[in-house]
Amino acid sequence: MALSFEGTEQRPHFERIGFRVIGKRMFATYLAKDNTANIFLTVSEQVLFCALDPANIRPVPNKWGEKGATTFHLDHVAREIVMEALLSAYSDVRR
């Protein structure tokens, strides 16, 4: 889904796969072993997305989470919600 955005590339990022706008910073990562995505939202967007499904969408439990990094459990979150979050993160980086 992340690669569907114009000018996006995939790169290794520790044990995850990272997605970034070419020449800019990362906007999401994916971890296959637990089928989760960390999507880099603004803090206000994070609050809104987490309220939709607190059991399956929550802040990353570290300083990145305090800055908006949000974990989505992809087995349990609707594709449309994930796509909206990715679009938001991508658009923020693209500016």
Number of H helices, E strands in the chain: 3, 6
Residue type at 95?
R
Residue 32 has pLDDT above 90, yes or no: yes
CATH of 2-94, one of 2.60.120.680, 3.10.20.30, 3.90.1150.30, 3.40.1020.10: 3.90.1150.30
pLDDT tens column, 37-93: 999 999 999 999 999 999 999 999 999 999 999 999 999 999 999 999 999 999 999
Locate the domains of the chain by residue range.
2-94
